Structure 1
Amino acid sequence: MKRKHNHPNKGQKKSVDYKVEEPSELLPFLLKVMANRSRNSVKSILTRGQVTVDDHMETKHNYSLQPGQTVTVLKNKAAVKESQLIGMSILYEDDDIIVINKDAGLLSIATQKEKHRTAHHQLMEHVRLENPQNRVFVVHRLDKDTSGVMLFAKSEKMKRTLQDAWKEKVKERTYVALVEGEVKQQNGYVSSWLRESSTHLMYSNQTKNDGKYAKTHYKVIQANKNFSLLEIQLETGRKNQIRVHMQDLGNPVVGDKKYGSTGNPIGRLGLHAKVLMFTHPKTGKLLRFEAAVPKSFLTKSK
């Protein structure tokens, strides 16, 4: 059974947009535009993840806003409705799988600090509306600050089937990365053996078989002196692979302080999972999902 999902902003307006006219921090800006609400009410709207700035979910009170940005607030009634997903939208759902478009700023799965505001928890609630016994399972992860297409399974068996045959099933996995500096070579690749330090930092090693082999192909979409927008194809899917390999290239991902970035002009990590194409394990059909490139990536690299 395939379900159609209506975009939350079609028909009845579930969110309100506010244009930023002058530099400000996020909380003071919200208090000003939502003057009819109490400070605590505005804070909880922010904490619950009901606020997006341009193309990412933002919960930080002191996040710096710049003129020209758009702040979108999901109305309380819409957020309280159980069917309303925060920081994500469902691209496809059937009896076996769910495919989502995840915003930057939303965790894929629970951490020690955050149990509920995650893609996994929200989808769990979503499937349980139909039947309390229903469950969802993470097939692959996206970092909290990476946006884009992500796949979940509706049974342990389906999760295992997808993970065990990931290489054969997945036909295309394309990312886009906004990186620092001008990448001179129009296309190329980076390969290395990746290892993890005691502080959980991944790093490249050129010694053969010393770590997990990783290969990343890239192509320049557009670039200027300060930034380049790259299309990236993964030959292997290792932890933080793109981020490490862009650092190796000398062009770290924008906003990626962990791996060599010097600034963050877009207020988020410059990494987005654009395309996921795979063969459905049950039906054998080839499915392709695409999440539009964030506007800030395009404007910075023009």
Structure 2
Amino acid sequence: MDKKNFLVEGEDTLLSFLLAHVAGKSRNSVKSMLTRGQVQVEGRTVTRHDHPLAPGQTVTLLPQGAGDGKAPFPVLYEDGRILVIDKPAGLLSMASDREKVRTAYRMATDYVRKSDPRRRIFIVHRLDRDTSGVLLFAKDEETKRAYQDNWDRLVTRRGYLAVVEGKPSRESDTVRTLLRENAAHKVYSVRSGGKEAVTHYTTLRAGKEYTLLEVDIATGRKNQIRAHLSELGCPVAGDKDYGAAADPLGRLCLHAHVLELADPFTGEPRTFRAPEPKGFRSLASGKAEGGDRR
């Protein structure tokens, strides 16, 4: 569907107007378009069904996933409520005491303000600085709360790709431990007093030095994948904090490649995928392509 503009000729409410002008869509479909933020009035996203319309206004219907392609990072999906990006490795999700400017949050804010200087971005979840991949932001506080307050219920899968040194003793397995963070901010497994962390992994490709794993997490503890794989004797390549011997691609070889969850307003299942970084697969085959920091 292409972007469509409709001129308001008389007083009306938004849902009533859309039902009269959008052909081939059921009432529920039109409501879903509103909920997803695909409808703008005078260039501003509106989601209320009863929003009043006045003669001379323009109502715009955006295609699902519309974006202007001018972001400083790959945009995986965008509508009036959310922005989903492929975060580069080495970029903080949000500001820290040491870095307040060069963050995914700041760059995403600058991006949405190109079309409207009043727009804001809200953090929904985070990725570690050195982990690349799928990162979701909300465009309004209501959406942020809807995702964050129901995150564990909404999310059905958080999948990662990891290139590790060596090869796990089992082709696939589940690691379940209690994790604790020490004063140096390093996470490690303990017998008691920690938070439960569950990590599932499956071997995708194994070479002589490195193995490519598909990793799914059932819990979202800080650095849990890095800690669990290191404790298996297979640290993530490039992860010197957790025992890696080398840095073959000039980055931590951990990538959040899929996020599956339900839309908190419609219940619609959503899947966002970030392409596998260059060099991951070839490294696990013994044919490394260096220098990739995506």
Give me the TM-score of the superposition, normalised by structure 2.
Answer: 0.72
1:233-252 Cα shifts (integer Å, max 9, x gaps): 10100000100001111100
Selected match of 1:180 from 118, 143, 165: 165
Letter in 2 for 1:201: K
Segments of 5+ residues of structure 1 without an aligned counterpart are: 8-83
The one-letter code sitting in structure 2 at the alignment partner of 1:290 is R
Once the two structures are TM-superposed, the CA of residue 111 in structure 1 deviates from its matched residue by: 2.3
The alpha carbon displacement at 1:189 in A equals 1.2
Q: What is the CA–CA distance in structure 2 between the aligned matches of 1:4 and 1:157, rounded to whole Å?
A: 21
3-state SS of 1:295 partner? coil
Instruction: For residue 128 of structure 1, report the CA deviation from its aligned partner.
Output: 2.3
Counterpart residue number, 2:67: 5
Instruction: Give the whole-Å Cα distance in 2 for the aligned partners of 1:159 and 1:6.
Output: 22
245, 255, 269: which one aligns with 1:272: 255
Give the drift of 1:175.
Answer: 0.3
Q: Which is greater in Rg? A: 2
State the partner residue of 1:85: 71
Whether the 8 Å CA contact 2:130–2:251 is kept in 1: the answer is: yes
Q: 1:285 corresponds to which residue?
A: 268
> TM-score of the superposition, structure 1-length normalised?
0.71
1:6 Cα shift? 6.0
8 Å contact from structure 1 (residues 183, 223) kept in 2 = no
| Cα deviation code 1:53-112 (max 9, x no counterpart) | xxxxxxxxxxxxxxxxxxxxxxxxxxxxxxx433x2211111211111111122211223
Q: What stretches of structure 1 move > 6 A for 4+ residues in a row?
A: none
Q: Over aligned residue pairs, what C-alpha RMSD do you find?
A: 1.5
Instruction: Quote the offset at 1:185 in angstroms.
Output: 0.9
Asked whether the 8 Å contact 1:5–1:91 carries over to 2, the reply is no
Determine if the alignment matches structure 1 residue 143 to structure 2 residue 205: no
* Correspondence list, 1:1-302, <5 A: 1=38, 2-5=64-67, 84-86=70-72, 88-207=73-192, 210-302=193-285
* Residue identity matched to 1:263: A
Distance in 1 separating the partners of 2:156 and 2:187: 26
In structure 2, the gaps of 5 or more residues are 1-37, 39-63, 286-294
Q: Decide whether aligned partners of structure 1 residues 115 and 85 sit closer, same or farther in structure 2, where only a CA change above 3 A counts.
A: farther
What's the secondary structure of 2:260's corresponding residue?
Answer: strand
Q: Is the 8 A contact 2:160 2:257 kept in 1?
A: yes
Letter in structure 1 aligned against 2:125: H
Identity of aligned residues (%): 47
Alpha-carbon separation, structure 2, partners of 1:157 and 1:193: 33
* Separation in 2, partners of 1:295, 1:131: 34
- Where 1:108 maps in the other structure, the secondary structure is coil
The code of the aligned residue for 1:287 comes to: R
> In structure 2, what is the Cα distance between the partners aligned to 1:140 and 1:166?
9
Deviations 1:92-141, CA, capped at 9 Å, x for gaps: 11121111111112221122333222110011122223333321111111
Task: Give the conservation status (yes or no) of the 8 Å contact 1:195–1:203.
Answer: yes
| Partner Cα separation in structure 2 for residue 91 and residue 137 of structure 1 | 17
Q: Do the aligned residues in 1 keep the contact of 2:206 with 2:284 (CA within 8 Å)?
A: yes
C-alpha displacement of 1:184: 3.1
Q: Whole-Å Cα distance in 2 between the matches of residues 129 and 6 of structure 1?
A: 10
Q: Per-residue deviation at 1:3?
A: 4.5
SS at match of 1:243: helix
Rounded Cα–Cα distance in structure 2 between residues aligned with 1:246 and 1:3: 35
Aligned residues: 223
Give the direction of change, closer, same or farther, for the CA distance of 1:6–1:299 in structure 2 (3 Å limit).
farther
Q: Secondary structure at the match of 2:74?
A: strand
- Give the Cα separation in 2 of the matches to 1:149 and 1:101: 5
